[in-house]
Amino acid sequence: GIQVEQSPPDLILQEGANSTLRCNFSDSVNNLQWFHQNPWGQLINLFYIPSGTKQNGRLSATTVATERYSLLYISSSQTTDSGVYFCAVERTGNQFYFGTGTSLTVIP
């Protein structure tokens, strides 16, 4: 399977700060998605981004497929942004491979 590494593993931010989360993957992929797992365990779709850049409000993401990495930017963080952020990639068409996640805590 594909190796997916996320960094940093843990991140503590003051409310209002910006951050960048990184996802590196070991092989070419057909699909890449970013998810936010909230404190209740739900996986929320953030971005479907196999390549290029997308923005949604305070969040944006960039995937450089040729260099096998993706970045998730969070600007003006809020306490509701807390949780675990996962990057997941798909290559063979039958499953996603998830990274180990970045645990984000935003303090007021």
Partner 1 sequence: EAQVTQNPRYLITVTGKKLTVTCSQNMNHEYMSWYRQDPGLGLRQIYYSMNVEVTDKGDVPEGYKVSRKEKRNFPLILESPSPNQTSLYFCASSLSILNTEAFFGQGTRLTVV
> Applying CB under 8 A, does 55 fall inside the site for partner 1?
no
Q: Give strand pairing partners of 58.
A: none
CB 49 within 8 A of CB 31: no
> Applying CB under 8 A, does 108 fall inside the site for partner 1?
no
CB 35 within 8 A of CB 99: no
93: left (phi over 0), alpha (psi -120 to 50) or beta: left
Which residues 5-44 are close enough to bind partner 1 by CB under 8 A? Answer: 30-31, 33, 35, 41-43
> Applying CB under 8 A, does 50 fall inside the site for partner 1?
yes
Residues of this chain that interact with partner 1 (CB under 8 A) are 1, 30-31, 33, 35, 41-43, 45, 48, 50, 86, 88, 90, 93-96, 98-101
